[in-house]
Amino acid sequence: MTLIILSPWDLALAGLLVGALAGLTLWAGLGLGRSLLIAAARTVVQLLLIGLVLQTLFDHARLEWVALMALVMLLIAGYEVMARQERRFAGAWGYGIGAVTMFVSAFAVTVLALTTMVGAAPWWTPQYAIPLLGMLLGNTMTGIALGLDRLTQAVWRERSLIEGRLALGESWMAATTTMRRQAARSGLMPTINAMAAAGVVSLPGMMTGQILAGAPPVEAVKYQILIMFLIAAGTGFGTLGAVRLASRRLFDQRERLRLDRLRPIARR
C-alpha cells in the first residue's frame, strides 16, 4: 500500500474548517473564537517544531539525546499537572508529586516495554522510545492531574468531616478513604472508558495512523492493544502513587490536617 503524502493545500483546507468553526462560535456569542484560533496556530507551530526535532533525533540517534528529549518531556508534563490544579500544593511539592510519580510509572513501563516487548535494537531507538514515552506520559499526566484535583478539592470541601473523624481517633488514612478512592477512580476512568470503547465506538489514534501509513490492519491492532495496556498500567500506577503521596502530604507527623500546604490558583 502506497503512503499518500499530504500537501500544504490539504492542511490548509482542513484549517479552513477550523476557521469556519471559529466564525460560527463568534456568531453564536460563545466567546471561543479567539481561543480556538490560537489553539490551532499553536498546534501547527508546536507539531512542526517537534517534527523537525524528531527528524534530527532520528538522523543522529544517540542515547544521550534520547534521554535529554525524555527529560524535557517529563519536565513539561510535570508543569502541566501542576497547572491543572485548582488547589495545588505550595512549594516544590506542587511540581514534585506529579513529576516524580510520572517518572516512576511512565518511564518504568516504557523501559520495560522497549526491552522486553518491542525488542528494538538498541532498546532506546528513538523511533520507538519517544512516541511510546509520549503516549504514556500524556495519558499518565491526565490521570494524575484528574486524581490530584479531585483529591484536593474533596479534602478542602470535607475538611470539617475529616477533622471530626481525626478527633474521634481515626488515622489519616481512615479519615480520607472515600476521598482517596474517588480521586483514584477519577484518574483511571478516562483510560478505562477508552479501553472499553476501543474498536466498537472509536478507532484509537495510533492504530488509525498506522493503517493510514500503510501498515497491515492486524499488525496495527496488535500495536494498539500493547499501547493501551501499557497506558492503563502507567496511568494506574502513576495515579495511585500520586494520590497516596498527596494524601500523606496533607497531614503532618502528628496526623493533623494541614490545609495550609495547599494554595488556590486560577484554573486555566
Picking from 32-36, 117-121, 131-135, which range would have the lowest pLDDT averaged per residue?
117-121
Model confidence at 28, in pLDDT bands (50, 70, 90)? Answer: confident
Average pLDDT of the chain, as a whole number: 88
Model confidence at 1, in pLDDT bands (50, 70, 90)? Answer: low
Q: In this predicted model, what pLDDT tens digit does every residue of 150-185 receive, in sequence order?
A: 999 999 999 999 999 999 999 999 999 999 999 999
pLDDT recorded at residue 209 = 77
Residue that the C-alpha cell 506520559 belongs to: 137
Residue 250 has pLDDT above 90, yes or no: yes
Residue 252 has pLDDT above 70, yes or no: yes
Task: Output phi, psi for 129, to 5 deg.
Answer: -65, -50
Mean pLDDT of 79-103: 89
pLDDT recorded at residue 268 = 46
Residue that the C-alpha cell 479501553 belongs to: 195
Residue 109 has pLDDT above 90, yes or no: yes
Residue 267 has pLDDT above 70, yes or no: no
Mean pLDDT of 49-73: 90
Mean pLDDT of 56-69: 89
Dihedral angle at the C-alpha atoms of 18, 19, 24, 28, nearest 10 degrees? 100
Question: 264: part of which helix (H) or strand (E)?
Answer: strand 262-264
| Whether the Cβ atoms of residue 23 and residue 33 lie closer than 8 Å to each other | yes
pTM of the full structure:
0.84
Share above pLDDT 90 across residues of the chain, in percent, rounded to a whole number: 56
Residue 235 has pLDDT above 70, yes or no: yes
What is the rounded CA–CA span in Å between residue 4 and residue 245?
Answer: 48
Q: How big is the CA angle at 139 (ends 219 and 86), to the nearest 5 degrees?
A: 165
pLDDT recorded at residue 121 = 84
pLDDT recorded at residue 3 = 66
What is the rounded CA–CA span in Å between residue 180 and residue 169?
Answer: 19
Residue 193 has pLDDT above 70, yes or no: yes
